[in-house]
Structure 1
Amino acid sequence: MTPDLVLDSRYSWLRVGLALLIAVAGNVGMWVVTVVLPELQAEFGLSRGLSSLPYAATMIGFATGNLGFGRLSDRLGITKTLSLAAILVAAGYALAAVAPSIAVLCALQLAIGFGTAASFGPLIADTSQWFLRRRGLAVAITASGNYLSGAVWPPLLAWLGDGAGWRWVYGALAVMTLVVILPLAQTLRPKVPESARLAAETAATSRTRATGLSPQALQWLLGLAGIGCCVAMSMPQVHIVALCVDLGFGAIVGGQMLSLMLMGGVASRLVSGVLADRLGGVPTLLIGSGLQAIALLLYLPAGDLVSLYTVSLVFGLSQGGIVPSYAVIVREYMPAREAGNRVGFVMMMTILGMALGGWLSGAIYDWSGSYALAFVNGFAWNAVNIAIMLGILLRGRGARRAIQTI
């Protein structure tokens, strides 16, 4: 039976389910290096800051891949984009499994991150094309694949790699990527009807005029805000396993804590998606950013297992909806035909913030001997994000009136 290709249709929600499966499998490339960080530090004899470089390389690749594959998806469609990315990622894993040095591993993680990005920003942008009334929830569900991947894979990889080593883990991931991603990508071949695309663009044009900001200016403001929130976000996400090792709790406990944090993030993303459909993307993002700032400060007094598990859950519940809100804002105010490019740019900036924050937290640890100042640094960057988003909100007070007339 031919699906009814209209916005917010049953077929639209079917695509959300397929996109979620792809995202869970495809985004493992973003998380694997955080699990093996202690092993890399021991094998190559590195400082904590240097052992964080493969993660930074991954995030730089992930950032630029969101822009590069985002633009490619606007031209070729999401199926071809995901297929090319899966081949690239599988080759990166296979070569990384035999990497002779940290420098070679960093170069390969750059390629892995670049390919992994196709399962994030471009996939979110494609999903957003199929919705108008429930776009926030659909985007949130698709974006949750990134966190579900982070919740499922770290403890699984820690268990699989226990005794076998990180190189075996990379070889297994190379096979999994080809077996899972390539077939699933073929299910997303249908494209959104042009009439539906035009309807979404009409709504976006009305909102943009109400704010008094050009799409380009708004895009750069969102990018700067994204750097601020994600430098803050990266501290617990990148270093929670290493923090647990330092405290004597072990890498497996750290992986479980990261999993709990990201499961909280999934719940946060779903709630934020519902809020975005009611309040709009900017207010929803501000709520999440404010709560994230509070959660970061709660890590400072935490030191035992109960408090760390609790704060990690609170952190996940606070920050999970922030990044998807950027995609909602882009689609609320910018042309649908440029969704891959525009969403990709903003996602790139948020991930560059993650890369900067992941390295910066490790460097602060090396300098100070603890992660306390790294949490304070994250809070300061979070304040920058809040200031920018408040400015956008104040300029866009007329946007909600424009939405009501659509």
Structure 2
Amino acid sequence: MPPEKPSIETSYSWIRLAVSMALSTLGCVGMWSLVVALPAVQADFNAPRAEAALPYTFAIVGFMIGGIVVGRLADRFGILPPLAGGTILMSLGYVLTAFAPSLSVFAMISGVTIGLGGAASFAPLVADVSLWFDRHRGLAIALATAGSSLAGVVWPPIVQHAIAAHGWRQTHIGIGLFCLATMLPLSLVLLRRQVAHTTTREAASSGDTMQSIGLSPSVTQGLLAVAGICCCVAMAMPQVHLVAYCGDLGYGSARGAEMLAVMLGFSVASRLIFGWLLNRIGGLPTLLLGSAMQATALALYLPFNGLVSLYVVSAMFGLAQGGIVPSYAVIIRELFPAREAGFRVSLAISVTLAGMALGGWMAGAIYDWTGSYASALVNGIAWNVVNMAIAAWLLQRQRRHVVGACVALS
């Protein structure tokens, strides 16, 4: 029996994970601050609600594109150069938006600077964390993805208070200066680059998707992208419309905001549970389980619309969704070589934002058409089922190839 390969995990790996979570919490401010500032921005520019939402839309597009670009750069130069550059760009963008003379200029600056710059703090950081773990990789990835959710818990009340006290323009200047002053020093902890460990368990995986699953790398990545879009179309319905839904039911937007906070809080907590599962059973089984749980939680919104029951269902939905996005990063690391992790993990996670954007718009459009969120929930469940089907099919192929490899070796 060959000796067990040494682990790549060290105490520095865990320090790096903690710093990455902090950086993600700070750098993902753009996902939430623009939503909180929307009413003030709308009033300042005297614009319709749809136009006032453009800065957020442009920023999300920037997050998508920037995550893929930064992932590629991180594969070549390490995470620090693009992260530092993105931090400077994002911080500059917040300051520039404070002097925007029109809503169109504000929206353009948000996309080009806040979105593209902040993207370095999202998917590329998750990919970088995955390179420093092998024994606890699933848990580490799950915790790394929690940063963006933590940003949704931490930033909105701070931004809301600052806007009420000082206005949205001064608040944006403050965010830019604060992120610059905190993120650049923190990012120096990530200066060290991972070296090739030819003697570790990492090298035991060839990263050949043809051998492990019987599909080409491009087809495998494409199927994971479709799956990511489908699950996040479903995920977007409660996340984007829960506050409005509670208003329609007569509970008020404040209750809806509380439910959203409960959902995000339970989503963060579930990272620990799903991180343990990812280490035990792997990426594809965890994705299938999380997707099935999310579909179940979505379906529970249909018969239960009482105040207490909505809190409970929202908590269940948060627990279910917490393990879905980390699963994609683990699947990529299981099926592809480490040298491509930055680009492929960033691509897999970044495209989920397209699903969030599409799902949020689609649920609103269905509501406008039907006057009810019931059809929007059914639509979300249908997209969720497609995600489950892709995950189940890939898992079946993976297990079939594992069995075939074992038979060939016997």
Fold match (TM-score > 0.5): yes
Residue 82 of structure 2 aligns to which amino acid in structure 1?
Answer: T
Q: Counterparts of 1:152 and 1:117 in 2: how far apart (Å)?
A: 18
Q: Kindly tell me: are residues 312 and 248 of structure 1, through their superposed partners in 2, closer, same or farther at Cα, counting changes over 3 Å? A: same
Aligned with 2:399: secondary structure? coil
Q: Counterparts of 1:257 and 1:230 in 2: how far apart (Å)?
A: 19
CA contact (8 A) 1:52 1:359 kept: no
The reply on whether 1:74 has 2:46 as its aligned counterpart is no
CA contact (8 A) 1:37 1:242 kept: no
* Correspondence 1:41-80 to 2 at 5 A: 50-80=51-81
Q: Counterparts of 1:354 and 1:395 in 2: how far apart (Å)?
A: 28
Q: May I ask how many residue pairs the two structures share in their alignment?
A: 400
Q: Kindly tell me: are residues 105 and 251 of structure 1, through their superposed partners in 2, closer, same or farther at Cα, counting changes over 3 Å? A: farther
Q: Kindly tell me: are residues 159 and 251 of structure 1, through their superposed partners in 2, closer, same or farther at Cα, counting changes over 3 Å? A: farther
Q: Please give the per-residue CA displacement for 1:110-141, whole angstroms capped at 9, x wherever unaligned.
A: 23122222111111111101111211011111
Q: Counterparts of 2:373 and 2:54 in 1: how far apart (Å)?
A: 17
Aligned equivalent of 2:350, options 338, 348, 352: 348
CA contact (8 A) 1:150 1:258 kept: no
Q: 1:105 Cα shift?
A: 3.1
Aligned equivalent of 1:188, options 185, 190, 204: 190
Residue 334 of structure 1 aligns to which amino acid in structure 2?
Answer: F
The reply on whether 1:228 has 2:227 as its aligned counterpart is no
Residue 121 of structure 2 aligns to which amino acid in structure 1?
Answer: S
Q: Kindly tell me: are residues 189 and 271 of structure 1, through their superposed partners in 2, closer, same or farther at Cα, counting changes over 3 Å? A: same
The reply on whether 1:119 has 2:126 as its aligned counterpart is no
Q: Counterparts of 1:257 and 1:265 in 2: how far apart (Å)?
A: 12
Q: Counterparts of 2:400 and 2:359 in 1: how far apart (Å)?
A: 35
Q: Please give the per-residue CA displacement for 1:136-173, whole angstroms capped at 9, x wherever unaligned.
A: 01111111111111122223333333354443432321
TM-score w.r.t. length of structure 2: 0.89
Q: Please give the per-residue CA displacement for 1:254-288, whole angstroms capped at 9, x wherever unaligned.
A: 44332221111112222111111111100101111
Q: Please give the per-residue CA displacement for 1:177-208, whole angstroms capped at 9, x wherever unaligned.
A: 10111111111111112125975243143675
Aligned with 1:195: secondary structure? coil
Q: Kindly tell me: are residues 114 and 368 of structure 1, through their superposed partners in 2, closer, same or farther at Cα, counting changes over 3 Å? A: farther
Aligned equivalent of 1:322, options 316, 324, 334: 324
Residue 240 of structure 2 aligns to which amino acid in structure 1?
Answer: V
Structure-2 residue corresponding to 1:338: 340
TM-score w.r.t. length of structure 1: 0.89
Residue 159 of structure 1 aligns to which amino acid in structure 2?
Answer: H
CA contact (8 A) 1:6 1:196 kept: no
Q: Counterparts of 2:176 and 2:199 in 1: how far apart (Å)?
A: 36
Q: Kindly tell me: are residues 49 and 287 of structure 1, through their superposed partners in 2, closer, same or farther at Cα, counting changes over 3 Å? A: farther
Which range is displaced more, 356-365 or 158-167? 158-167
Q: Counterparts of 2:376 and 2:45 in 1: how far apart (Å)?
A: 24
RMSD: 2.6
Q: Kindly tell me: are residues 50 and 299 of structure 1, through their superposed partners in 2, closer, same or farther at Cα, counting changes over 3 Å? A: farther
Q: 1:51 Cα shift?
A: 4.8
Task: Pick the structure with greater CA Rg.
Answer: 2
Larger RCO: 1 or 2 (CA < 8 Å, sep 6+): 1
Unaligned runs of 5+ in 1: none
Q: 1:101 Cα shift?
A: 3.9
